[in-house]
Structure 1
């Protein structure tokens, strides 16, 4: 060891030794990083990085050798063989290429060490081929033990460097660089210690030391340029990778369709906001948002329309947010959004925030020549007033949102204690409703419709009833909204239509049977086909079937709705406009489609018959009916005064408790109002149940 140090101190230019060492360390550091990059890529990129690794390593090895060698004082004139000098460089580059390729192949656990050993052999081969190119005027001899020791050091240290490089750890690259630099330096200076020269001084034979030093500096400069090029490539790629990772991070945390943060981003943000609220002893509002009728938009106009609605809503929401005040909205599901708002001492801020959200989500959207009004329901839960942890505050906001969705009047609902019990009971009722068809818990009652002037029966409206085995009778106003929310209205609605038509075929009198259509059921694409199948299978004449729908069903998609109504009317089926006078009632609807009947909503008869406002509304509806040539039927008639008023105003038909309460078919038959010509061979309500789609639910 002392001999090697003595060789460095006594026979080498210290400045060139420092220059060579600097280049060796820099080149090894760049080589280590380029090699690590090659192990994380595949295909053509991997080969490119391996080439850059081998080039950086070869330059570091070769230039370290030649700069230090040019700084060596042999005590005799020297010269360099240009061909062998170039060959030594190629040996370093190609030997490194093979070694690094094998080390990074991961064929077996020992391949990194084997590849490193090949790199070490290429270092030794480069050094001693370079020494052959080193022509000195003297007698050259070699100290074999030092020569062998230099090769062993080069091979073992290089093998160790690449073995350590492939082990996991944050410092693996730096360790590889240090050990590889040590392998190069140890090989060179141990090899130079093995080098012996007996000078033969001849007249006129002199070496220009200044020229050799200048050459060494030039080689160092060029090598630094090459190594720097490798480093710049690494840094550029690292920057590109960082940009790509940032883009991927944004993609991972943001919804690509709306541009809003996604669920993962929301989960991170709510944790931060809750921690901030705890620290400041303030409050945080979580707003659960669910779009209304979004499934209908997809069903009616296709998923392109649904995507466009989401894209526009995302753009609007981003435009209204005041991020400096901590407002945050994320898309957390298909048609679900979640918002966060830092609340002050009062509720004025959250109210303003909700108003802005409501305006954005209810504003119409133009798509493909039509106007879509998405709408939404909002549920608000406040931390820490309503909950002390993330899961509970989210659940409470959902409960409030479901309450808002079930309320036809309110779009926004704040969480209240006891909501969870009500929602739980509602969900249990929905589960029971799924089994109601299978267990024959549903049945039909019929309410008579008569001519006011003569009392003649014109038909019966089929009304759905549910007899729960534990809870007893459950009213339609309670379970129909549940059926609509859970999609159960489709199989239930088909069952009602099929059963009513099947039972009507057994009546001796050719009365009409009126069947209500839910707005959700009405937008089902197969409704004309279902009506056709029911009529064919039950044998009911189309003229005896009347379908009732509210204008809200048409309002969802007016153009398509009217097209479906024309298809149904083309079958010979009558169509009545139910609950007229409420909701969206408009002259344009009556003008656009020839309804067969208008039904005045029962709410207009809840007050006394002498109420001038009620009389004025009824007169207006009757005048509309006469103008458009459409008969008018009044619902909810309970007193003779109401009936007299309708008769005086010229109303054609009526139904209500005064004329007949809803009753089961068997009870109506027992009164003699209906006579069965071909008694129904199965229990009422059992018609063609095997064909119902509810079996798949």
Structure 2
């Protein structure tokens, strides 16, 4: 448009090919300049590309000038040409450098000003280098309307280009903002459930903490752990577990109020934060969450529910910093999940001490397992027929001597193993050790191993047993698993499936502690047990309780009709043994026949036939004389058991 304003006072025409070529030169030169500046090969790359951009504009200008045809004498002044090219190159390089490395608004607008100077300086300095001397007798024949139309056309194209650039800038800015928001959401939220994640929870906890300090208000943190989520994963698959989590998250999003916050901070772990004025608000919120997690849901074609255990810690009573508050809520949740009859538990110092001790025990148990500090003891199982008792097998009993606490009962450390994910490796260690010991015995008696309910519900148990039998060389019929009703009552269908797989391997299965707590005849009818072990507490009562004796006879009759032998546990006196014999109980186990004894890693007990002597029908002070024959080659023998 500035060139159109130039009036040389001579006829002027524009060469269309060179005019279009000047546009192409500018486009290609600008594209190459931006391409060079984007490579980031060095810090001076933007300046170099800017200088190239200025040279491209100069090439565009002088190509356009060649398209400018006049009737007259044309004169070019070289110094102005060089000056125009230098102005374009230097100020374009400055503009690119300022725009590329702009950190402040002043740099940006400085780059814009430099680019304007480059273009304007190029044009007017270049036009100064151009002189036209009209030839005599020639009059200008420019059509003012054509010039105006061309000027308007150029203006329209220029505005389209500028408008397109501005629209692209707005679109790019919006896309950047949306992308940034999307990335932030991805970083702050759980991808499966859409709930805030652990990082977002900690940030929100810090914000609430600061606000509570300023406003002198209180807030609570609730740690939440699903109760039966692993069971859903094991029985229905991980896809069903994901559906459970998404369903729970959808419920939470629908029911949470403005001041309530819930995040998923782990696999099946959640955390909630609630500012409150009245302590009852915390109770109501916790019970509402507990009810929400316990509601039944349909996953595929199966109806299920999970439930949750909640631990609550409040600020400032239970902690001085947010991280400690979250940790204490987790301790209270752990207590609610494993030891408390209630599903909601508030933090206190005693709970923290108890949970920390159990966690320390779990760490010590893990170390004992890794360093082979555990030991198996064996207690004999005898036939009760006269005149002599015969050892039919041994029950493997796990023992652990803690370096500080001394001997720790399995009733204490087995639940700790179950609660801390150690029951799997612990059970595998017991299987391998018991089978290896039994395989080394001189007499092929069976070995009985107790199985935790948690371990039994593991779908990989049959595969593990198969591997252990192959590795140790023990015949499958010499291994017997002892289960309590608690191991099968919660999910009978899955339990029956696993038991059938175990039975297909040739392994026996015994129902342990029968008669303690509740029991049902349906259990005996449904599950293919090879042995019934009558609980010690029941044996203790049969000599004094007429009703217990009648039930005992009924159990023996039931076992005989079902073809399942009955073994009585906890036999400690000859009176008990004689009573059991009279009732035709065929097998027994207890201190009367020997205490549990250790066995070496490589050599097991060489079990012997034992004779039980009686003197005139009276109970001797010692039922068993010291047995000369050792049960094993490591100095292990049955011991005298004096009645106390």
Class of the TM-score when normalised by the shorter of the 2 chains: 0.7 to 0.9
Correspondence list, 1:46-57, <5 A? none
State how far apart, in whole Å, the 2-side matches of 1:615 and 1:279 are.
Answer: 72
Secondary structure at 1:548's aligned position in 2? strand
Residue 674 of structure 1 deviates from its aligned partner by 9.8
Correspondence list, 1:58-73, <5 A? 67-73=1-7
After superposition, what is the alpha-carbon deviation per residue over 1:288-332, rounded to whole angstroms, capped at 9, x for unaligned? 23344655655x458xx2243133223223313433333222222
The match for 1:222 among 149, 152, 157 is 157
Correspondence list, 1:157-172, <5 A? 157-167=91-101, 169-171=103-105
Residue 583 of structure 1 deviates from its aligned partner by 8.6
Q: Does 1:681 align with 2:615?
A: no
The match for 2:214 among 279, 283, 296 is 279
Specify which structure has the higher proportion of helix.
1
Correspondence list, 1:491-510, <5 A? 491-497=425-431, 500=434
The match for 1:97 among 31, 45, 53 is 31
State how far apart, in whole Å, the 1-side matches of 2:314 and 2:134 are.
Answer: 93
Q: Counterpart of 1:246? A: 181
After superposition, what is the alpha-carbon deviation per residue over 1:654-675, rounded to whole angstroms, capped at 9, x for unaligned? 9798967854369999964896
Q: Counterpart of 1:335? A: 268
State how far apart, in whole Å, the 2-side matches of 1:665 and 1:250 are.
Answer: 59
Q: What's the Cα RMSD here?
A: 4.6
State how far apart, in whole Å, the 2-side matches of 1:354 and 1:591 are.
Answer: 43
Residue 185 of structure 1 deviates from its aligned partner by 1.1
Q: Counterpart of 1:83? A: 17
- List alignment gaps of at least 5 residues for structure 1: 1-66, 686-697
May I ask how many residue pairs the two structures share in their alignment?
A: 614
Residue 391 of structure 1 deviates from its aligned partner by 1.5
Residue 184 of structure 1 deviates from its aligned partner by 0.5
Secondary structure at 2:279's aligned position in 1? coil
- List alignment gaps of at least 5 residues for structure 2: 600-604, 611-621, 638-644
Residue 345 of structure 1 deviates from its aligned partner by 0.9
The match for 1:260 among 192, 195, 218 is 195
Q: Counterpart of 1:324? A: 257
Correspondence list, 1:71-150, <5 A? 71-75=5-9, 78-136=12-70, 138-150=72-84
Does the C-alpha gap of structure 1 residues 204 and 120 become closer, same or farther in structure 2, counting only changes over 3 Å?
closer
State how far apart, in whole Å, the 2-side matches of 1:651 and 1:134 are.
Answer: 126
The match for 1:393 among 320, 325, 328 is 325
The match for 1:515 among 449, 458, 468 is 449
Q: Counterpart of 1:409? A: 341
After superposition, what is the alpha-carbon deviation per residue over 1:316-359, rounded to whole angstroms, capped at 9, x for unaligned? 23313433333222222233322223334123x33343334334
State how far apart, in whole Å, the 2-side matches of 1:121 and 1:260 are.
Answer: 55
Q: Higher mean Cα deviation, 581-590 or 86-95?
A: 581-590
State how far apart, in whole Å, the 2-side matches of 1:363 and 1:449 are.
Answer: 50
Does the C-alpha gap of structure 1 residues 268 and 502 become closer, same or farther in structure 2, counting only changes over 3 Å?
closer
The match for 1:181 among 113, 116, 131 is 116
Does the C-alpha gap of structure 1 residues 145 and 292 become closer, same or farther in structure 2, counting only changes over 3 Å?
same
State how far apart, in whole Å, the 2-side matches of 1:187 and 1:328 are.
Answer: 62
State how far apart, in whole Å, the 1-side matches of 2:635 and 2:306 are.
Answer: 43
Q: Counterpart of 1:472? A: 406
Taking structure 2 as the reference length, the TM-score comes to 0.78
CA contact under 8 A between 1:555 and 1:584: conserved in structure 2?
Answer: no
Q: Does 1:379 align with 2:311?
A: yes
Q: Higher mean Cα deviation, 183-192 or 81-90?
A: 81-90
CA contact under 8 A between 1:453 and 1:652: conserved in structure 2?
Answer: no
State how far apart, in whole Å, the 1-side matches of 2:549 and 2:259 are.
Answer: 54
After superposition, what is the alpha-carbon deviation per residue over 1:494-522, rounded to whole angstroms, capped at 9, x for unaligned? 44445556666899999765421112332
State how far apart, in whole Å, the 1-side matches of 2:560 and 2:472 are.
Answer: 35
Residue 224 of structure 1 deviates from its aligned partner by 0.8
Q: Counterpart of 2:496? A: 562
CA contact under 8 A between 1:535 and 1:541: conserved in structure 2?
Answer: yes
State how far apart, in whole Å, the 2-side matches of 1:297 and 1:525 are.
Answer: 12
Does the C-alpha gap of structure 1 residues 682 and 326 become closer, same or farther in structure 2, counting only changes over 3 Å?
farther
